[in-house]
Structure 1
């Protein structure tokens, strides 16, 4: 059997879908930057297209200046480079990934807690150092949202080109004698350069021991998301002399999510992004540009003049409750599955399959096949609800994320149907709901 068999199934409707996403999503986050700023702020369902488009250059030279703003490129390259350096320098714990097709396991250094500690320490030191709590760095991020959106998009494209080209270069064997094939993604070996560049040709692109995919998953984009949110708080404080409770709540809820992800970095090693998906434009853009600029939409909206919202204690409490319930379902369901796989919960009901593995049908996992997705979706609702109901724009995240979870569920179902056969049919009868108990 070949180490890298040709890809037979193409995700996202193949090449047309890959091209559509490559062009569409960068356009969408650019649109977000144009409708949530000090010049133009969408309110309600009205959208003045001319006012939005007037913010864009009307010449080739203007577009070049916007896309390749020297200050923004230097700032982002410094940001990315410093995080890479911290990844190398700071201590961490050793961990192994899942077994690969050649029987090997990759070694990882998990140092999310150390990186997070340094990041927070630097922010606090800067806040203590400056007068009037005015941080030029945060103001720079807020004032250059459009330029930085374009910079991160272009950078993610270039990084995808780099890893795609490198995927054709054989690796040197550990003993230094000869070379061997790189392990490619099961989805990215179609031999169509555009599609493979988009979906990711190589499974785990690395420079030496530095894993590019794991680094990008939780560092530059996630922490930039936090900086963008803080820049919105910074802007509102210096504009109004105070910060609204809605903006504070969004910042706190999303900061919790960000640090929870970074501090639990080890959990990524068994997730589909790391174990199955290649690293191409889809993940590169998703990690570096989409996450910070799409997920910060609520903060950016609330920081615009005229969009300030005071929730009051009752609404604050209800939204926090949605977050707590969602997080509890998400975390406890994942822990239950992990404990079951490690043999700690043998008393829970399950189906023994012909493959030798078991399908859990009890506890959280008796309620729906992907109960953790439901918890994760509730978390997303807690981020959107603080924006009120002035515009559907700020609910984009729960619509997008719900669609993404649905796609993952269908993808997983197709995989499991092929793997378990009639055992899966039996499982579906015992656990009929896909994500939301008693609804779907």
Structure 2
């Protein structure tokens, strides 16, 4: 059967999906309300009156907030320009993993050209500007709440679109000789809302253009970079200088962003691309959650009352933490990749051969924990939060959220491997008992 019926439901099914659909947009809108020129959260206290005063008081103001003409034109121009660049910029073509119909999709990998184009455009605008003032960055900073709402609404619309398209037969036969689309193994329950949320179709496309891969690394990731830069732009023009803490957050996160965009071919084997459908969860996560949740630290530090100077010693420690996390993440993934290709056979790494013929590596980095790469990723998250000091726990939201997300991913992967490898997985767990953090969890 090309599209088996989904039995297991993530997030406790419809209740969890509904909670995420309603709750997470409110979270990023809350972030916008407590990190702006009108109000900034301090410590653990929250001035609810000050927050509520920023919200629209009637239907007219609500419509103005959600459907501001300039903000919608700006966002659509941003999204549309990136789509156009994705088509016209040069790149190499690669095949993804084999699908259930025996075919492989072609992908255009042009992250280097896309990043270079954006940097050249920013540099040229800066050269043309008077006093390093860029109206685009000023507009972005001053309309963060409206743009947050716009990106949320757009992610809803996109999720509805790909869900509706998933019911339209293919114009050309698939690898099985039918017009049936390949659905996600997670999004074929028959429940309309849940399938819309989790993603019904595995790889929604318009012609050869892959919507999921584009959204994974383009609009949200690069908007994250621009929002951070708008915070630097605001602080410089409001006070005449930029704090070292804000510069550090920008540098560390820019490194992470460009590393992701430039290594987009690695996404072709990630669970997001190979397993998960593209529904509201990924649409919202890519287009709204990433740019508006991951910029919380920069937006907080940009405000005068939160300005923080770290000094060279603290800067060095935090930067070292990021590069330690990055080293663990990259070297562990590289080691597993080389092992799978047979390029580490001369090192005689300990492994367990399974009934499928594949091997479970339980040596080197992967002898320390089952997901040692997750530990590296989590350490990177800490390096983004520490520059904010200890003025409020709000700026540490990311490490709490991301830690929870990593544990959820680990549990999903564990369930899949236990089902796939059976007794061999049990043997593997005895040799590598820790899930993420060696000697802790």
Q: Which residue of 2 aligns with 1:60?
A: 59
- 1:165-208 per-residue CA deviation (whole Å, 9 max, x = no partner) reads 00000111169xx9610000000001111100000000000000
Q: Which residue of 2 aligns with 1:85?
A: 84
**Equivalents in 2 of 1:349, 1:33: separation in Å?**
50
**Equivalents in 2 of 1:57, 1:391: separation in Å?**
27
Q: Which residue of 1 aligns with 2:375?
A: 374
Q: Per-residue deviation at 1:50?
A: 1.0
Q: Does structure 2 retain, via aligned residues, the 8 Å contact 1:369–1:431?
A: yes
Q: Is structure 2 residue 138 aligned with structure 1 residue 150? A: no
Q: Which residue of 1 aligns with 2:301?
A: 302
Q: Per-residue deviation at 1:44?
A: 1.0
Q: Is structure 2 residue 254 aligned with structure 1 residue 240? A: no
- 1:91-118 per-residue CA deviation (whole Å, 9 max, x = no partner) reads 1001000000010000001000000000
- 1:107-136 per-residue CA deviation (whole Å, 9 max, x = no partner) reads 001000000000000000000001100000
**Equivalents in 2 of 1:366, 1:24: separation in Å?**
38
For residues 211-360 of structure 1, the aligned pairs below 5 Å read: 211-346=210-345, 347-360=348-361
* Partner SS for 1:97: strand
Q: Which residue of 2 aligns with 1:18?
A: 17
Q: Does structure 2 retain, via aligned residues, the 8 Å contact 1:41–1:305?
A: no
Q: Per-residue deviation at 1:305?
A: 2.2
Q: Which residue of 2 aligns with 1:428?
A: 429
Q: Per-residue deviation at 1:237?
A: 0.3
Aligned residues: CA RMSD:
0.9
Q: Is structure 2 residue 184 aligned with structure 1 residue 170? A: no
Aligned length: 437
**Equivalents in 2 of 1:428, 1:179: separation in Å?**
41
For residues 95-134 of structure 1, the aligned pairs below 5 Å read: 95-134=94-133
Q: Does structure 2 retain, via aligned residues, the 8 Å contact 1:159–1:284?
A: yes
Q: Does structure 2 retain, via aligned residues, the 8 Å contact 1:94–1:109?
A: yes
Q: Which residue of 1 aligns with 2:181?
A: 182
**Equivalents in 2 of 1:412, 1:298: separation in Å?**
30
Q: Does structure 2 retain, via aligned residues, the 8 Å contact 1:172–1:179?
A: no
**Equivalents in 2 of 1:106, 1:229: separation in Å?**
34
**Equivalents in 1 of 2:404, 2:172: separation in Å?**
42
* Partner SS for 1:40: coil
**Equivalents in 2 of 1:381, 1:71: separation in Å?**
36
Task: Give the TM-score, by structure 2 length.
Answer: 0.98
**Equivalents in 2 of 1:414, 1:76: separation in Å?**
39
Q: Is structure 2 residue 192 aligned with structure 1 residue 193? A: yes
**Equivalents in 1 of 2:440, 2:5: separation in Å?**
38
- 1:203-240 per-residue CA deviation (whole Å, 9 max, x = no partner) reads 00000000000000000000000000000000000011
- 1:352-384 per-residue CA deviation (whole Å, 9 max, x = no partner) reads 111211000010000000000000000000000
Q: Does structure 1 retain, via aligned residues, the 8 Å contact 2:173–2:179?
A: no
- 1:238-295 per-residue CA deviation (whole Å, 9 max, x = no partner) reads 0110000000000000000000000001000000000000000000000000000000
* Partner SS for 2:126: helix
Q: Does structure 1 retain, via aligned residues, the 8 Å contact 2:362–2:431?
A: yes
* Partner SS for 2:5: coil
**Equivalents in 1 of 2:303, 2:401: separation in Å?**
23
Per mean C-alpha deviation after superposition, the further-off stretch among 57-66 and 74-83 is 57-66
**Equivalents in 2 of 1:94, 1:338: separation in Å?**
20
**Equivalents in 2 of 1:318, 1:250: separation in Å?**
13
